[in-house]
Chains A and B, each alone.
Chain A
C-alpha cells in the first residue's frame, strides 16, 4: 500500500511569490489533514478535509493560505503571496476515520527568502 505522498519535497521561493504544495493521501482515506512545523515549534494543525469538504479550518493562519481537495482525492495548499514567516515544514496526513491514527507524508520543506 502506497503511503501519503507530498510534492515537492523542497521549495525555495522569494517573498511575494506563490507556491502550491500537493498531497496524495493513502487510497481510500476520506480524511486528509494539513499540519506545519515552523522553526523550533511543535507541529500545528492547519485544516481537515472529509472527502472534498472542509471539516475544520481553524488552524489556517490567514487568507493567504488556500487549501482545496477537488473530487475528494489529492489536495493542494497554496500560499499567495508568501511571507518570510511561512517558512517551515508542511505535513499532510490521512486517515480512514476522523478518530483513527493519521498517517503522515514526509513533508514539504518551504523556505521563503
Chain B
C-alpha cells in the first residue's frame, strides 16, 4: 500500500527564516510526486510535480527536490503570505490518477 508521511506536522517561522518541509514516501514504482498548497476553506492548489530522483523545481521562494525515498520543500526567506498547509501526494506507476496524500504541514510565518 502506498504511504506518504509529512513532517513536521506544524512549523512556525519568523519572516525571512528559511526552512524545509519533508515528505517521505513508499510507493510501488513512482509515477509522480506532487506538492500542493492549501489555504483554509479552499481546495489544494497545485505547486510542483517531480518525476525522478534528482529532479528539482523552483517557484518564487519555494524549491522542491526529490530522492528515491523523500521529497523536500525548501522555503527561502518566507513571507507571511506563505502561511498555509502544504500537502504532498504520490501517484504509483501502476495506477496513474489515484493520488495518495500525506497529512500535510501547516506553516505559519510571523512578521
Query: What is the interface of chain A, defined by CB distance below 8 A to chain B?
Result: 4, 31, 33, 35, 41-45, 48, 50, 55-56, 58-59, 91, 93, 95, 97-99, 101-107
Is B46 a contact of A102 with CB atoms below 8 Å? Answer: yes
Q: Which 7 A-B pairs have the closest CB atoms?
A: A104-B43, A98-B96, A98-B97, A43-B101, A99-B96, A48-B97, A101-B46
Q: How many residues of B contact A (CB 8 A)?
A: 25
Q: Contacts A43-B87, A99-B91 given: A31-B43 contact, CB under 8 Å? A: no
Is B102 a contact of A48 with CB atoms below 8 Å? Answer: no
Is A91 a contact of B95 with CB atoms below 8 Å? Answer: no
Q: Contacts A99-B31, A99-B32, A106-B43 given: A31-B97 contact, CB under 8 Å? A: yes
The residue of chain B having its C-beta at the shortest distance from the C-beta of A107 within the complex is: B43
Within 8 A of A (CB), among B58-111: 87, 89, 91, 95-104
Is A91 a contact of B104 with CB atoms below 8 Å? Answer: no
Q: How far is the CA of A48 from the CA of B97 in the complex (A)?
A: 7
Partner of B97, one of A91, A99, A103, A106: A99
Query: Which residues in B have their C-beta under 8 angstroms from that of A56?
Result: 95, 97-98
Q: How far is the CB of B9 from chain A (nearest CB, A)?
A: 12
Q: How far is the CA of A58 from the CA of B97 in the complex (A)?
A: 12
Q: How far is the CA of A91 from the CA of B91 in the complex (A)?
A: 17
Is B100 a contact of A45 with CB atoms below 8 Å? Answer: yes
Partner of A43, one of B32, B44, B46, B97: B44
